[in-house]
């Protein structure tokens, strides 16, 4: 078994060998104040020009060593938001919280409901939803690696908030509480059985349903977060959805295996994509017009961004606003989402509405 220091050194060498690609920062803007922020996170956002009331919201969580802008550049979520008319929120980790900018998916004080990083992300969502009149029945979350694990944290602790979630190279909720345990779980060691995983999920909140749909994505050659974790994530959610261990459908999509579990009324409630021969990262297809190859953003000939958005009902051939722009290096004027925030100390207008909503939700005193 590799030591923790050895694993950290290998990941560091991998990052250096791949280099740091230039990432334009113009598509995301600082979001501004969003509550008490006990987790000490930062918030970025992309609001398409002319965003309509009652639009959906997608929350996107980056992986370790990444920034919100880097993950957006690689995944293409903000461009998809422009084309299909939804808001995109990008929580961002800080080095003061985690030296490798990983979301702290294994720290008890950050992964429990109404605590730490989890409640900071919840406050961001509440602020966006109030400020931009988001359709609360269409809020979704996705993330890669540590961001995928934190997406699962949010789905487990605030299931009433989300209609669906997509976990890419992530881990099941509540299985690690220390750094050594986190590395063991990433390697597939010490992961609880399905019954225990399901109990951890049920005990994360008092929610009794309905439950968010779950999309799981994993490379078959991922040596950082081994593929057995994807199976465990699906297992964890089978209990609340009342589906058996065996998938109802197994098919091939763009050359990759997709398993589907259906509810009693025939809806797809859990899906698991196994991306053939892919390592650790988010599967993208630059030819789709969404995403660009970069470290941990891997051209697998399938766009997880498009497939996930389609499964959430965000993408349909008849409602696209414009053709995708294949040149990702063109400068894009930033869209300010903080200009509606009144000066510090003011509680008038929309800021008061936001603060009242946060208090009503128990997210601010």
- 197 contact partners, CB below 8 Å, separation of at least 6: 172, 173, 175, 191, 232, 235, 236
For residue 226, how many C-alpha atoms fall within 13 Å in the half-sphere facing its CB?
11
What is the rounded distance in angstroms from the CA atom of residue 151 to the CA atom of residue 129? 18
Q: Which residues are registered as beta bridge partners of 217?
A: 168, 273
Spot the catalytic one: 75, 145, 303, 304. Answer: 145
In the chain, alpha helices (H): 4-18, 68-75, 77-84, 108-111, 116-131, 146-157, 179-186, 194-202, 228-241, 304-311, 349-360
* Tokens 């299985």 belong to residue: 175
State phi, psi for 194 to the nearest 5 degrees.
Answer: -60, -40
DSSP 8-state code for residue 343? P
Q: Does 145 participate in catalysis according to the annotation?
A: yes
User: Going by DSSP bridges, is the β-strand pair 42-46/139-144 parallel, antiparallel, or unpaired?
Assistant: unpaired
**8 A C-beta contact, residue 146 and residue 106:** no
* Tokens 């994360």 belong to residue: 204
Collapse the DSSP code of 179 into the 3-class scheme (helix H, G, I; strand E, B; otherwise coil) and give the result. Answer: helix
Omega into 210 within 30° of 0, i.e. cis?
Answer: yes
Q: Which residues are registered as beta bridge partners of 343?
A: none
For the chain, the first-to-last Cα distance in angstroms comes to: 47
Alpha carbon of residue 35 to chain centroid: 20
* Tokens 């919100």 belong to residue: 68
Query: Which among 232, 224, 109, 214 has a CA at the least distance from the CA of 167?
Result: 214
* Tokens 């190859």 belong to residue: 293
Give catalytic residues, as residue numbers.
Answer: 145
């Amino acid at each position: 078994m590799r030591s923790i220091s050895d694993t950290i050194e290998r990941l560091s060498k991998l990052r250096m060998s791949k280099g740091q690609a230039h990432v334009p920062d113009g598509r995301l803007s600082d979001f501004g104040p969003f509550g008490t922020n006990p987790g000490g996170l930062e918030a970025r956002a992309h609001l398409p020009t002319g965003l309509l009331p009652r639009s959906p919201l997608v929350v996107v969580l980056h992986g370790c060593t990444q920034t919100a802008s880097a993950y957006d550049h690689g995944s293409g979520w903000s461009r998809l938001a422009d084309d299909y008319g939804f808001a995109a929120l990008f929580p961002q980790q800080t080095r003061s919280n985690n030296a490798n900018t990983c979301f702290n998916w294994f720290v008890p004080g950050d992964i429990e409901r109404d605590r730490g990083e989890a409640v900071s992300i919840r406050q961001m969502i509440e602020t966006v939803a109030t400020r931009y009149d988001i359709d609360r029945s269409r809020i979704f979350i996705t993330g890669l690696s540590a961001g995928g694990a934190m997406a699962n944290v949010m789905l487990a602790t605030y299931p009433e908030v989300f209609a669906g979630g997509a976990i890419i190279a992530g881990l099941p909720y509540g299985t690690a509480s220390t750094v050594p345990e986190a590395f063991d779980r990433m390697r597939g060691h010490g992961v609880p059985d399905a019954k225990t995983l399901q109990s951890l999920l049920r005990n994360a909140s008092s929610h009794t349903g309905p439950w968010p749909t779950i999309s799981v994505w994993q490379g078959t050659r991922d040596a950082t977060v081994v593929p057995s974790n994807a199976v465990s994530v699906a297992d964890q959610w089978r209990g609340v959805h009342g589906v058996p261990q065996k998938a109802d459908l197994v098919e091939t999509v763009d050359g990759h295996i997709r398993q589907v579990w259906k509810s009693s009324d025939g809806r797809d409630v859990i899906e698991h994509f196994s991306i053939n021969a892919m390592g650790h990262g988010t599967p993208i297809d630059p030819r789709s017009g969404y995403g660009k190859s970069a470290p941990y953003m891997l051209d697998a000939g399938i766009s997880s961004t498009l497939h996930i958005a389609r499964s959430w009902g965000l993408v349909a051939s008849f409602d696209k606003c414009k053709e995708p722009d294949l040149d990702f290096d063109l400068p894009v004027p930033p869209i300010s989402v903080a200009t509606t925030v009144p000066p510090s100390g003011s509680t008038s207008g929309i800021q008061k509405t936001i603060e009242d909503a946060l208090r009503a939700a128990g997210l601010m005193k």
